[in-house]
Each structure stands twice: as C-alpha cells, then as structure tokens.
A = this chain, B = another copy of it.
Amino acid sequence: MSKQATQDMETRIASLLKRSDLSVTESRRKILHLFLEQTGALAHGDIERKAGEKFDRVTVYRTLQTFVEKGIIHTIPTADNSIRYALCKDECSGGHHHDHHIHFVCSQCDNTYCLDDVVTPDIKLPKGYQAEHVEVVVEGVCKNCR
C-alpha cells in the first residue's frame, strides 16, 4: 500500500471513530484496520490472532462490543457457534445496526460475506407471530472457490 493510501485509511478510520463519539485509540484503530482491509467477516478468534500480540484479549472483546453498540460492525449468526463480525455500511447507526442484507458462508473456504445487494425476503408467518427482524444465512460455494 502506498504511503498516500495508508494515510487515507488512517484518516478514514479516525473520522469513523469520531463520528461514533469514540476516542481514537491504538487498539480501535488496529481492529478497524483489520475490517477495512478485507472483504469477508471476521470471527473473534481471527481478530485476536491478528491483533492479539499487541492487545489484551479483554480489550478485543470490549472493542468489538463497543463497535456493535455504535453500529460500526454487526454480528452474523452461524450454525457452528462462532459469531462473525462484519463492517456495517455507512447508513447503519447505533442501536439500528441490522440492515437488511443477507449473509453467505462458503463451505469450502469458510469465509463469510455480506451480500449487500441481496435484501432479505418477506416471510409470511402463521397467525399470531409478529416479525421484528429477519436473518438469512446462505451456505454454499463462493465466487472464488468454484
């Protein structure tokens, strides 16, 4: 990455944090960096492995929690009991960070993608059930693994 690009990235990260009323700290910058420099979602373990040398496990937990609360990232449920986190699009705001795209988990490479252009379908529920939020996770083979 060029020096210019790195500079841009850092500026972007700082303004993202400030917009959410968060102070700009080293661990937050580092973790946001991880999300920005990759397409898929990250599991807690991934982040700990990539940032863990420098930061305490607890800090990673707390940072992710804060980011979720502020609507910077969102969680993706999976069947294997390992929450994944992914960046929210800019429209997301605190407390309202479920937007309506679906998620795709590749059964080959195990990457998780937000398919931002695929909206969750309307689901017709039986009488008496009232939907508040619909979560769709598709498992299959991704673009790169075919």
Contacts and interface: CB of A to CB of B under 8 A. Distances in A.
Interface residues of A, number: 37
A131 interface: yes
A118 B124 contact: yes
Contacts of A79: 75-77, 83, 135
Interface string A72-92: 000111110111000000000
Number of copies: 2
Contacts of A136: 123, 134-136
A142 interface: yes
Main SS class of interface, A? strand
Contacts of A138: 123, 125, 129, 131, 133-135
A49 interface: no
A139 B143 contact: no
A107 interface: yes
Interface of A: 75-79, 81-83, 102, 104, 107, 115, 117-118, 121, 123-143, 146
